[in-house]
Amino acid sequence: MKKIIKTIIASALLSISTPSLAQSETLPSSAFSQLNIVEQPTISPNGELIAAVYNTDGATQQVVISPFGKVDLTTILKLRNQSERIVKLRWVNNERLLVSADYPEHMYGSSRRVGQLFAVNKDGSELKEIKLRKLTDTKDWSWLVSGDQIVSMLPHDPEHILLQQVSERDNYFPSVYKINVYSGSSEKFAPSLQKPSYFIGDSTGRSVVAVAVEDLTRTFYLWQEDAGQWKEIGSYEAFEEDGFTPVLYEPANNTLIVKTYQKSDKQEVWRYSLDTDEWVEPLFQNETYDVASVMEHNGQVIGFGYTADMPEVEFIAPAFKQRQALVENTFKGMNPIVVDFDKSVNKLLVKTYSASGPSRFYFIDLANKAGGLWMALQPALENKQFPAKQPIEFEASDGLVLNGYLINGGDADRPLVVMPHGGPWQRDTQVFHPLEHMFVNAGYAVLQVNFRGSSGFGSSYEARGYGEWGQRMQQDVLDGVAWVKEQQLADVDDSCVVGWSYGGYVSLFAATNTPTQFNCYVSIAGVSDINAILEDTRAGETAQMVDNIMVGDRDSEQGKAHLEAISPIASFGKLKRPTLLVHGTGDVVVPDDQSEAFYKAAKGYNLPVELLLLENGTHSLDSNPNRKQAFDRVINFVKANIE
């Protein structure tokens, strides 16, 4: 069967898997600004349908349904306005879907996205909003509104889920409720701990693990339906002890599956016994990278995800391991990953990744020996020729070995666009991204540096970035530019910095502290005032304590003075080169007043600064109209300032 399915799929790919070898053409920015046509495709348990988020040409998102293996999309749910975004889709059973969504709200001095949950039939009928109770205006609600409060999908109960909710009777702390996804009726499953908490379910739907967060202490409790009470099972102090994050409770063995740094500098996955308080066995270890995800199926761990240069998976369940091997053998050189499957595990969705072109989704039907392309996510960029991202490694000025990526198409004369990533506790990968390749297509080289503080490379690498905003993390990016110049890989004397989120901070800090090193600076959703953003978006005491460690002390006068000193707005008067600020008015991660305040300050002194505000734009600018405006303005700005 493997040979047959491989032949079928290979023949289906002949006309679409290889990019055109014709001379690369210069494309308009609109070709790169389009969001992926679909996101989060998920197969119904019986394998008959695929549900997905559809990004329209307008600003609102839709939920669509398609027969498995066909591109015959039917809309079953439209969001009400452009500020709402779909967070996640889940099949409850073969007939009904759960749709998690959220919208921005500014309350009590803080900006958050407030969660919503809808249930809808596959034909769009019987739409039901499962309302999350809101806190009164006298309470700190910031930990509540995460946008997705589902504790367990209860795989053996097709009409119910376990949901985290709050109640006035529990002093506005969360409890776990059993919810009917048709009627919305609820009954309490597990009571509140009377502490800020979040919950993790098990495969049987009869147990729940609670993680209570108090200051920097993480305490774990177990609720078993038969026992009817919470039992403390462990605790640790964040940043002081090597802790762990529970992923799954295994009631048969009274064990936890956890992600942990206790055994290595890299985050691993272990099985931990609650009976003996001992580490039983490692389930995933990698010498170079942290685990990113733990994959489950029917309450069992089936594999693990991590990111090297490309996303990688390692399945341990035999059936899934076999299927991933088949996929890799079929889609050679396309970095394929099985991303979803039906209950029988015979119908698969595969996502491919490339360093030189957009991703695609393919379908495989093992039972019927069929397969082929389901969806090309960026049609305007299909079969175009783009230079590939190349991994790089170099030493920072203090000797730390750093990594990153360079795209220059083998042409050392290309002007350089420096693109520091966001987070800062994220990382860049080798995966094709439209914004980067918009610059490459226009004739520029692109440099990305995984500066210290980037995540995925172990706890030490990340911790080296704590408290280093505007300092060693900033210098790492400049060291990367110096390395490119030394290696003669691009024209560094004609260059610009373009950053998003924390990357926008890097760009603004460079604009005000190395104001003549680059021709221009672009900040998309960037931070200009650190003290202000910490006050605006992180209201809880625990969040403040975390900020004090990871960003800088904001409790003492000396600490606040330091944060002010490394805030670009404190040095706006040093601005000398053209600087563009782009921000969405619906951004709750970095509010748009961060860009507006910097713009007003600099413009007041007639300094070279521009501002583009995008109505209802989120932090990711994840609507096609907003992206089109932003990408067009950014590329034209860079072209105007780099000859």
Q: 176-187, pLDDT tens digit by residue? A: 999 999 998 889
Mean pLDDT in the chain? 88
Q: How confident is the model at residue 166 (pLDDT cuts 50, 70, 90)?
A: confident
pLDDT tens track for 358-374: 999 999 999 999 999 99
**Residue 69 φ/ψ region, left for φ over 0, alpha for ψ in the -120 to 50 degree band, beta for the rest:** left
CATH H-level superfamily of 390-529+567-641: Alpha/Beta hydrolase fold, catalytic domain (3.40.50.1820)
Res 80: pLDDT: 79
CA atoms of 176 and 180, how far apart (whole Å): 13
pLDDT tens across 318-338, in order? 999 999 999 999 999 999 999
Q: What is the pLDDT of residue 12?
A: 36
Q: Is the model's pLDDT at 18 over the cut of 80?
A: no
Q: What angle do CA 549, 166, 60 make, to 5 degrees?
A: 80
In this prediction, residue 620 has a pLDDT band, given cuts at 50, 70 and 90, of very high
In this prediction, residues 336-342 reach a mean pLDDT of: 95
pLDDT score, position 203 = 75
Instruction: State pLDDT tens for residues 255-286.
Output: 989 999 888 999 999 998 888 888 899 999 99
Q: Name the residue among 110, 134, 253, 121 with its Cα closest to residue 181.
A: 121
pLDDT of residue 306 exceeding 90:
yes
Assigned token pair, 116: 């919503």
Which pair of tokens denotes residue 57? 């040409």
DSSP string of 470-503, one letter each residue? TTHHHHHHHHHHHHHHHTT-SEEEEEEEEEETHH
Amino acid at the residue 411: D
Question: Which residues on neighbouring strands pair with residue 49, listed in sequence order?
Answer: 67
> What totals of helices (H) and strands (E) does the chain contain, helices first?
12, 35
Higher pLDDT, 483 or 213: 483
C-alpha closest to that of 479 among 397, 393, 550: 397
Domain extent listing, the chain: 390-529+567-641
Residues 335, 327: Cα–Cα separation, whole Å: 9
Average of pLDDT values for 142-148?
45
Least confident window among 2-6, 251-255, 567-571: 2-6
The string of DSSP codes covering 535-597 is HHH--SHHHHHHHHHHT---SSHHHHHHHHHTSGGGGGGG--S-EEEEEETT-SSS-THHHHH
Strand partners, 362: 350, 373
Question: Using N-to-C axis directions, what is the helix angle for 530-537 and 557-565, rounded to 10°?
Answer: 120
Phi, psi of 5 (to 5 degrees): -65, -35
Check: pTM over 0.85? Answer yes or no: yes
**CA triple 581-472-638, angle to 5 deg:** 30
pLDDT band (50, 70, 90) for residue 234:
confident
pLDDT of residue 140: 44
Give 526's contacts (C-beta < 8 A, 6+ positions apart): 499, 500, 501, 502, 503, 504, 505, 507, 508, 581, 583, 590, 594, 595
98, burial (CB in 10 Å: exposed 0-12, middle 13-18, buried 19+)? buried
Q: Of 108-117, 133-142, 202-211, where does the model show the most confidence?
A: 202-211
145 HSE (CA, 13 A, CB side): 25
CA–CA dist 202, 131 (Å, integer): 24
Give the model's pLDDT for residue 138: 44
pLDDT digits (tens, 9 = 90+) for 69-120: 999 999 999 987 777 888 899 999 999 999 998 887 766 566 677 788 899 9
The pLDDT assigned to 20 comes to 37
Q: Are strands 491-500 and 415-418 parallel, antiparallel or unpaired?
A: parallel
The pLDDT of residue 541 is above 70: no
Q: What pLDDT score was predicted for residue 525?
A: 96
Average pLDDT over residues 139-161: 70
Residue 141: per-residue pLDDT: 46
- Percent of the chain having pLDDT more than 70? 90
Rounded-to-integer distance, Cα 174 and Cα 188, Å: 11
Does the structure show a pLDDT above 70 at 147?
no
Q: What is the pLDDT of residue 539?
A: 54
Report percent pLDDT > 90 for the chain. Answer: 64
